[in-house]
A = this chain, B = another copy of it.
Amino acid sequence: MPNPSLLILPGDGIGPEVMAEVRKVIAWFSDHRDVAFEVAEDLVGGAAYDKHGTPLADATMARAQKADAVLLGAVGGPKYDKLDFAVKPERGLLRLRKEMDLFANLRPAQCFEALADFSSLKRDIVSGLDIMIVRELTSGVYFGEPRGIADDNEGGRVGTNTHRYTTEEIRRVARSAFELARKRDNRVCSMEKSNVMEAGILWREEVQWVHDEEYPDVELTHMLADSGAMQLVRRPKQFDVIVTDNLFGDLLSDAAAMLTGSLGMLPSASLGAPMENGRPKALYEPVHGSAPDIAGQGKANPIACILSFAMALRYSFDLGDEATLLKGAVEAVLAQGLRTPDLLGEEGRDAVTTSEMGDAIVAAL
């Protein structure tokens, strides 16, 4: 059997820097664990626009469709702020999500014990935190039609986006959430605004249907998304798995990520339907953005991207033990006190560089 294929899309800003550290980790696994990959690299986002005039070339899209897993760094930067909506760096990422049909975005919000004091929340509120947010990623207001900006014929303009969900779109992501819950604390909380949006009512009913018909053993609760935002700040440990739509998931997962105090630490997996070889279509990326302000300075934290690769080991290649090993190596270097600048706050203890952090993790392996 050929080695599984990995397509690496470093993207913009700190993307290439953090991805360089992931490549060290990939090399370690192929040298020491007989876990080898066919690695290819390509462009996405502003980097792709600079070369091809589009944030994702068709050829790159085709390669992503065939890869066993895609690893993405980050996209965007001020240089591209003035570009037309249709060729902005983000459109490259959104095209990947949509055309690969990556409907389930898994965003763990975990508090690393060594970093618990770094959160803006009190230690006892976040210590031991371990939430999995499952965000729908291919529908809702991100993709609904009609959309656009039009003249209103009275000298003004009107901007429109359409929030739209179908039964099947809701059911499939709900199933992902219930499956994950069974391997965790067996609890799912679904969030929407069913008190003001009909699409929220449909969301609630379909999630309930999947529960009653297929996962009656999992505990299901429903919460309005505004209350959800509150409860995440107030008592985040009440949650196990949260399932929500594309837009709410965007905000809520960012808020949840920030609770842990370690945004530079958080990975994500975006999963689609199984391919012929049984593996799901999959894209892995850090939750953080391209951080143009610190790009190229060796200040970026590579851990989120390295842990995204750990998620790839687990979810694409069924290598749970290797994923655990890698996560353990990350925890070990944190326990040793190694910190990139983002993990230091104002005190200004000695920070390590991006590549020192990567080397330390490889050494810990």
Spell out A's residues near B (CB within 8 Å): 76, 85, 88, 90, 94, 120-122, 125, 141-142, 144, 147-149, 152, 156-168, 193, 195-203, 225-227, 229-230, 232-235, 247-248, 250-252, 254-255, 257-259, 263
Asked whether, in the complex, the Cβ of B198 is within 8 Å of the Cβ of A226, the reply is no
| Bound CA–CA A142/B163 (angstroms) | 11
Once the chains are docked, how many angstroms separate the CA of A160 from the CA of B198? 7
Q: Which residues in B have their C-beta under 8 angstroms from that of A122?
A: 120-122
Q: Could you show 21 A-B contacts with beta carbons less than 8 Å apart?
A: A76-B195, A141-B163, A141-B197, A149-B198, A158-B202, A159-B166, A159-B198, A159-B200, A159-B202, A160-B163, A161-B162, A161-B164, A161-B200, A225-B250, A226-B250, A229-B229, A229-B252, A230-B258, A233-B258, A233-B259, A255-B255
A161-B255 contact in complex given A121-B122, A152-B166, A250-B193, C-beta closer than 8 Å: no
Given contacts A230-B257, A259-B233, contact A156 B167 (CB under 8 A): yes
A147: which B residues are within 8 A, CB to CB?
Answer: 197-199
Q: A106 to B272: give the CA distance in the assembly, Å.
A: 42
Residues of B contacting A164 with CB < 8 Å? Answer: 158-161
Not counting A120-B234, A159-B199, a sample of 8 additional A-B residue pairs whose C-beta atoms are within 8 angstroms of each other reads: A76-B195, A85-B198, A142-B196, A149-B201, A159-B166, A159-B197, A161-B163, A233-B255
Rounded to whole Å, the gap between the CB of A260 and the closest CB of chain B is 10
Contact A235 B120 (CB under 8 A): yes
A251 and B233 contact, CB distance less than 8 A: no
> Do residues A229 and B254 form an inter-chain contact, with CB atoms below 8 A?
yes
Q: Are B255 and A230 in contact (CB under 8 A)?
A: yes
Q: Is the CB of B167 within 8 A of A157?
A: yes
Are the CB atoms of B235 and A251 closer together than 8 Å? no
Q: Is the CB of A202 within 8 A of B157?
A: yes
**Chain B residues near A168 (CB-CB < 8 A):** 156
Do A158 and B163 have beta carbons less than 8 Å apart? no
Q: In the complex, are the beta carbons of A158 and B166 less than 8 A apart?
A: yes
> Which B residues are in CB contact (< 8 Å) with A193?
247, 250
A161 touches B76 (CB 8 A): no
**Min CB gap A316→B, angstroms:** 26
- List the B side residues contacting A232 at CB < 8 Å: 255
A167 touching B160 in the complex, CB below 8 Å, given contacts A226-B250, A233-B259: no
| CA of A152 to CA of B144, assembled, Å | 15
Q: In the complex, A259 Cα to B230 Cα: how many Å?
A: 8
Residues of B within 8 A of A85 (CB): 198, 201
- In the complex where A120-B121, A163-B162, A165-B159 touch, is A202 in contact with B149 (Cβ < 8 A)? yes
